[in-house]
Amino acid sequence: MSLVFEHTTLGQRVLFGSGKAAENLAAEVARIGPGKVMVIASEFEAVIAAAVSQNIEVTLMYDDVAPHVPIEKADKARAAAVRHGIDLLVCIGGGSTTGLAKAVAMTTGLPIIAVPTTYAGSEATNVWGLTEASRKTTGVDDKVLPITVIYDAELTTSLPAELSVASGLNALAHCVDSMWAPRADPINQALAAEGIRALNQGLPLVKDDPEDLAGRELALYGAYLSAVAFASAGSGMHHKICHVLGGAYNLPHAQTHATVLPYVLAFNSAAAPEAERRIAAAFGSEDAVGGLNQLRERLDAPTALKNHGLAEEDIPEAVELILSQIPTSNPRAVTRENLTVLIQAAFAGSVPEV
């Protein structure tokens, strides 16, 4: 059968090098030209942000960052950018920080330079997310795609091993979801498979030695590939589940993705045999679920949503909220009954079953 598909590759400059973040940021700001710079970084990342931005002139350092980008935080940051006449946004941090920069860019059109310190991957996508009244809304807008991403594995050493594992598994979820997302094609599937391979190799090294830059470089490389694949393929079943859970119940982003992933993989595997084989091969395993479970066991990964803030009585409401969000292209039909079983299993942390 001949190949027929439509693929879009997003245009973005990527600078990758350990210990080079400050140097690369200064060069990029100079390349873009003179203007007022707003650096967005959480209080937790203040020291890193100061070091990375030491060679540029900063008009505004902004640290009012929160998970899932509450609309109130977005409006406040947007107003600050306008008030100070900002020309360029620089975000230094994880997914929440990048998400806030995207929220500002969405209404102002300002360009973003992203300097990630986690494996969230938001920096390589044109996807935005905002939370209002405990409901998370996501969308796609090319205005929010950072024009440049500066990767420096040294910056990720600020992330403890446990959070590095959760963040890396979040990246792995981008890869897995890209195998059957609404716009999945051979190109983004190839990127996703290479992302799985890199993360499968790199994350155990990070777990064993959090200061090991070789492992962190592999994980960061894999996280970038995962995000590019996700941006191209779109948001599949896994991400729809996690966005609802995170927005509605304020669950931690990375841990939620890390916990839910094996259940979605087990749910879809039999209905997507070609994707399952590619995932298994990327893990170097006979089957995809087995390969993922072996990695998760090696990493002592998060195992139950009940440990991260979901209450059992919230499951029926969560199922109803999620059902309407599942893409019709999902390989296996999703019903209220089988989705309830999936969420209950993820809540309890029981062994995922194909």
- Per-residue pLDDT of 206-246, as tens digits, reads 999 999 999 999 999 999 999 999 999 999 999 999 989 99
The CATH topology of domain 161-348 is Dehydroquinate synthase-like, alpha domain (1.20.1090)
Residue pair 88/37 in contact (Cβ under 8 Å)? The answer is yes
Mind listing the pLDDT tens digit for each residue in 287-335? 999 999 999 999 999 999 999 999 999 999 999 999 999 999 999 999 9
Tell me what pLDDT residue 114 has: 98
Tell me what pLDDT residue 352 has: 81
Tell me what pLDDT residue 354 has: 65
* Same fold? 13-156, 161-348: no
Backbone phi and psi for residue 224, each to the nearest 5 degrees, phi listed first: -65, -50
H-run or E-run covering 49: helix 46-52
Tell me what pLDDT residue 19 has: 97
Tell me what pLDDT residue 253 has: 85
pLDDT at 126 over 70: yes
Residue pair 177/231 in contact (Cβ under 8 Å)? The answer is no
- For the domain covering 13-156, report its CATH number: 3.40.50.1970
Mind listing the pLDDT tens digit for each residue in 136-178? 888 999 999 999 999 999 999 988 888 899 989 999 999 999 9
pLDDT at 2 over 80: no
Residues 39, 87: Cα–Cα separation, whole Å: 11
Angle at 223 between CA 218 and CA 226, to 5 degrees: 125
pLDDT at 353 over 80: no
Structure tokens at 34: 């003179």
Start-to-end Cα distance in the chain: 29
When pLDDT is averaged across residues 84-108 and rounded to a whole number, the result is: 97
User: What whole-number percentage of the chain has pLDDT above 90?
Assistant: 87
Q: Dihedral sign, CA of 191, 193, 323, 321?
A: negative
pTM, rounded to two decimals? 0.90
Angle at 183 between CA 180 and CA 184, to 5 degrees: 40
Q: 61 forms bridges with which residues in the sheet?
A: 39
pLDDT at 1 over 70: no
Tell me what pLDDT residue 9 has: 86
Each domain of the chain, given as residue ranges in start order, spans 13-156, 161-348
List, in order, residues 6 or more apart from 74 with CB less than 8 Å away. 100, 103, 104, 130
Which of the 8 DSSP states describes residue 156?
G
When pLDDT is averaged across residues 39-67 and rounded to a whole number, the result is: 96
Amino acid at 40: I
Q: Mind giving me the DSSP string for 199-225? A: HHHHHHHHHH-TT-HHHHHHHHHHHHH
pLDDT at 344 over 60: yes
